[in-house]
Structure 1
Amino acid sequence: MKFFISVLFLFVLFSYAAAYDPLDPNGNVTIKWDIVSWTPDGYVAVVTMNNFQMYRHIMSPGWTLGWTWAKKEVIWSMVGAQTTEQGDCSKFKGNIPHCCKKTPTVVDLLPGVPYNQQFTNCCKGGVLAAWGQDPQSAVSAFQISVGLAGTSNKTVKLPKNFTLLGPGPGYTCGPAKVVPSTTFLTPDRRRKTQALMTWNVTCTYSQFLARKNPNCCVSFSSFYNETITPCPTCACGCQNKNNCVKSDSKFLKMVGLNTPRKDNAPLLQCTHHMCPVRVHWHVKLNYKEYWRVKVSITNFNYRMNYTLWSLVVQHPNLNNVTQVFSFDYKPLVPYESINDTGMFYGMKYYNDLLMEAGPLGNVQSEVLLRKDKDTFTFKQGWAFPRKVYFNGDECMLPPPDTYPFLPNSAHQHLSFTSFTFIAAMFFLFVTLW
């Protein structure tokens, strides 16, 4: 019995620890309910979902929100969203509710719905951008009319057991808590109004709950060593190795191959690491005062497009990023005294979509960094990142003892281009002599 309790305690402790992200300590999805008016048997509320995660977005097919009613409430109508099931409304005659389920499940509407079904910040197919990437697109909202509920602050009961899927598991939601009422501006922005009652629900993400294996891996290479450090074998688990597809297979020419499945089951290209995504970090050039890195992201999943993708890298020299050539870049400073983390993401309408596996299934950029004279070195793998996240999930890095090492004869401050130039001049001199 004691052993069982200990194991349970460790499991709970690990789950909560996994939900805490040291690179985004305040990241969460906050769901806010604002009651804006009372009705004869309930209220009308505006439900707003804010994704305050700096680099983790909710991608297609979008968020799914659920809860349990505290009493016998029903949803008379919704604008900007809908429930997936109506439930048993047989006891109602005449005006039939939108949903009578004790545990409703709500999804966002798709873009292009009729105007009378739209609401501010609705109808994005459930896609929420990361707050650090695009704050204006990190908000989703809908309006809900609730019946058979209380008609005052004292009689309204808060819903319980909130769940958030986005688009798979990983989020854990806390209880609803009454907070100070939200203040709104009237459409002419000349007068302030206040919600009649407001409560918040906070949901946090845990990669441990989302999947038992990583979703990406990292490989390394450098100009000063011919060795390429690959992703670890079975870095993302090898449960799909019997269903993977070789890159030269005729199966890839089948119509509908790239259609996603309802269960989001991947169709992976056969690799030794069996990861849907690989990030490659290549130390490309060394100048006198700068050094240059090439970053490549490859998608090995034939059924998945990654929209609004993001890449987070932790490296001590990111406080001196000088130029990023074909990605957007934003420093992340989770703690005031540390500036070693940055977020890369695609340029809008250019490379913000990482296509499925195949010739177009990769994006890449180069980063120019100024050397910090006190800490810069190529020795002992210093030039490679400490942590890498893709779409908010931490990637599997190779073991440190496999990193490309600096040859003993290499001069730390000799640029590769300079070395090539000197070698060419020497060869020319010998030939003419």
Structure 2
Amino acid sequence: MRSVVLAFVFVFVFRAAAYDSLDPNGNITIKWDIMSWTADGYVAVVTMNNFQMYRHIMSPGWTLGWAWAKKEVIWSMVGAQTTEQGDCSKFKAAIPHCCKKTPTVVDLLPGVPYNQQYANCCKGGVVAAWGQDPLSSVSAFQVSVGQAGTSNKTVKLPKNFTLLGPGPGYTCGPAKIVPSTTFLTPDKRRKTQALMTWNVTCTYSQFLARKNPSCCVSFSSFYNETITPCPSCTCGCQNKNSCVKSDSKILTMAGVNTPRKDNAPLLQCTHHMCPVRVHWHVKLNYKDYWRVKIAITNFNYRMNYTLWSLVIQHPNLNNVTQVFSFDYKPLVPYESINDTGMFYGMKYYNDLLMEAGPLGNVQSEVLLQKDKNTFSFKQGWAFPRKVYFNGDECMLPQPDAYPYLPNSARQKSLPFLTLVSCVLLVIFTAW
């Protein structure tokens, strides 16, 4: 009984951690379509669709793994490759591409020969978010599988799917047989369908990806000189001893900006020790509008953020009038609430957030129309409720530290005291 309760608690906690209220239907779906039978197996097309609105897979790209149900081997692949061949010593004539029980597959890099390419392949494993670029949110490859069975009844579904993209955080469910995929011929006059199809759904959990946040948020405003910084050690201070100052001579050494295989960061020394900081500045106040400046700063000397995205939840985002130097798209997780928007870089202009240094930042300004029923500068209303960078939620300052309006109670008491003084002066003068 105790084990059942523990299992229930684990499932509940995992689902809660993986659930994203701003993207409730977001997932990566891996579709496996058997297109033809061979002498000892089949040829399949494996398609990875990223249905997440604002979380993409950045360089160095996705890594897909699974465990064969029987003694399958991979004879050949187009558009991808396995990282290891495994022990193929029992094969004499033709040598398979991979004989491992648990193969690990990666995408090919751009520029490979044409005969090794497949549609939507060869992007180095980079897959855009569906909400940002639907056409680039797909990755695919072709695989020829042997010793697998040659009919729907003899083929066994692979097990234990894993997806890394490019780090941990994704959990994949079991493969499930679904209705066969239909395809339209190039002349669009005839439909064909796969001989067999199964799907695997993978969901992301920031809780599983890392124990500390990967970004933080700071605030400032025109009506208060106080800047609310990121909290100290927001992203953990385990890199405190290896961080470098912005004027350190180590930054002139060759190769210091080269990413490492273990993705170890080289952070600029800050009190928050985060790779990324988002700053929200309430800049101007007009009669019917108000203006906000947003700045994203990269403090990691070993990381370029490609296809970066910034998601912000604020009640006045339902009245965005103009966004300068960023692309913007509203996100509507609930039909009746439009308080969330996605900002991302303009293609070939600022869609690459450079590593730490003089060029390691991107900035924009947002003009918003006031909603007279709700707009206020009081009690931190002008600051966002949630901020996500590249799909991970950033740590916000404590509400009691937000820039506040000048104390109006004190200003209101002065005229009252002046009035009392005047009354008393008149009384004494009359005497």
TM-score, L = length of structure 2? 0.93
Residue in 1 that maps onto 2:91 = 92
Q: What does 1:24-423 align with in structure 2 at a 5 Å threshold?
A: 24-409=23-408
Q: Secondary structure at the match of 1:283?
A: strand
Provide Cα deviations, 1:248-301, integer angstroms capped at 9, x if missing partner.
Answer: 111111111100000000000000000000000000000000000000000000
Q: How far apart are 1:42 and its partner, in Å?
A: 0.5
Structure 1 unaligned blocks of 5 or more? 411-433
Q: Secondary structure at the match of 2:250?
A: helix
Q: How far apart are 1:195 and its partner, in Å?
A: 0.5
Q: How far apart are 1:246 and its partner, in Å?
A: 0.8
Q: How far apart are 1:188 and its partner, in Å?
A: 2.5
**Letter aligned with residue 78 of structure 2:** V
Q: How far apart are 1:12 and its partner, in Å?
A: 4.2
Q: Give the whole-Å Cα distance in 2 for the aligned partners of 1:5 and 1:55.
A: 36
Q: How far apart are 1:14 and its partner, in Å?
A: 2.2
| Structure with greater Cα Rg | 2
Q: Secondary structure at the match of 2:34?
A: strand
Q: How far apart are 1:16 and its partner, in Å?
A: 2.0
Q: Give the whole-Å Cα distance in 2 for the aligned partners of 1:12 and 1:197.
A: 31
Q: Secondary structure at the match of 1:18?
A: helix
**What is the root-mean-square deviation in Å for CA atoms of aligned residues?**
1.3
Provide Cα deviations, 1:360-401, integer angstroms capped at 9, x if missing partner.
Answer: 000000000000010000000000000000000000000000
Question: Does the C-alpha gap of structure 1 residues 296 and 193 become closer, same or farther in structure 2, counting only changes over 3 Å?
Answer: same
**Letter aligned with residue 338 of structure 1:** I
Question: Does the C-alpha gap of structure 1 residues 165 and 189 become closer, same or farther in structure 2, counting only changes over 3 Å?
Answer: same
Q: Give the whole-Å Cα distance in 1 for the aligned partners of 2:229 and 2:11.
A: 34
**Letter aligned with residue 313 of structure 1:** I
**Letter aligned with residue 29 of structure 2:** T
**Letter aligned with residue 241 of structure 2:** N
Q: Give the whole-Å Cα distance in 2 for the aligned partners of 1:187 and 1:44.
A: 20
Q: Secondary structure at the match of 1:164?
A: strand
Q: Secondary structure at the match of 2:21?
A: coil
**Letter aligned with residue 123 of structure 2:** K
Q: Give the whole-Å Cα distance in 1 for the aligned partners of 2:117 and 2:231.
A: 48
**Letter aligned with residue 35 of structure 1:** I
Structure 2 unaligned blocks of 5 or more? 410-431
- More deviation in 11-20 or 85-94? 11-20
Q: Give the whole-Å Cα distance in 2 for the aligned partners of 1:261 and 1:181.
A: 42
Q: Which runs of 4+ in 1 moved over 3 A?
A: 4-12
Q: Give the whole-Å Cα distance in 1 for the aligned partners of 2:24 and 2:11.
A: 19
Q: How far apart are 1:34 and its partner, in Å?
A: 0.5
**Letter aligned with residue 57 of structure 1:** H
Provide Cα deviations, 1:89-124, integer angstroms capped at 9, x if missing partner.
Answer: 111111111001000000000000000000000000
Q: Secondary structure at the match of 1:234?
A: coil
Q: How far apart are 1:247 and its partner, in Å?
A: 1.0
Q: Secondary structure at the match of 2:31?
A: strand
- More deviation in 242-251 or 350-359? 242-251
TM-score, L = length of structure 1? 0.93
Residue in 1 that maps onto 2:425 = none
Q: Secondary structure at the match of 1:401?
A: helix
Q: How far apart are 1:5 and its partner, in Å?
A: 7.8
Q: Secondary structure at the match of 1:168?
A: coil
Q: Give the whole-Å Cα distance in 1 for the aligned partners of 2:219 and 2:5.
A: 40
Q: Give the whole-Å Cα distance in 2 for the aligned partners of 1:169 and 1:19.
A: 13
Question: Does the C-alpha gap of structure 1 residues 336 and 152 become closer, same or farther in structure 2, counting only changes over 3 Å?
Answer: same
Question: Does the C-alpha gap of structure 1 residues 396 and 7 become closer, same or farther in structure 2, counting only changes over 3 Å?
Answer: farther
Q: How far apart are 1:79 and its partner, in Å?
A: 0.3
Q: Secondary structure at the match of 1:396?
A: coil
Q: Give the whole-Å Cα distance in 1 for the aligned partners of 2:166 and 2:281.
A: 32
Q: Secondary structure at the match of 1:273?
A: coil
Q: How far apart are 1:8 and its partner, in Å?
A: 6.5
Q: Secondary structure at the match of 2:208?
A: helix
Q: Secondary structure at the match of 2:341?
A: strand
**Letter aligned with residue 185 of structure 1:** L
Q: Give the whole-Å Cα distance in 2 for the aligned partners of 1:58 and 1:146.
A: 27
Question: Does the C-alpha gap of structure 1 residues 30 and 115 become closer, same or farther in structure 2, counting only changes over 3 Å?
Answer: same
Q: Give the whole-Å Cα distance in 2 for the aligned partners of 1:245 and 1:312.
A: 29
Q: Secondary structure at the match of 1:14?
A: helix
Question: Does the C-alpha gap of structure 1 residues 275 and 8 become closer, same or farther in structure 2, counting only changes over 3 Å?
Answer: farther
Q: Give the whole-Å Cα distance in 2 for the aligned partners of 1:186 and 1:152.
A: 24
**Letter aligned with residue 252 of structure 2:** K
Q: Give the whole-Å Cα distance in 1 for the aligned partners of 2:10 and 2:101.
A: 30
Q: Give the whole-Å Cα distance in 2 for the aligned partners of 1:245 and 1:292.
A: 35
Provide Cα deviations, 1:211-231, integer angstroms capped at 9, x if missing partner.
Answer: 000000000000000000000
Provide Cα deviations, 1:58-104, integer angstroms capped at 9, x if missing partner.
Answer: 00000000000000000010000000001111111111110010000
Provide Cα deviations, 1:24-48, integer angstroms capped at 9, x if missing partner.
Answer: 0000000000001011111000000
- Number of equivalent positions: 409
Residue in 2 that maps onto 1:421 = none
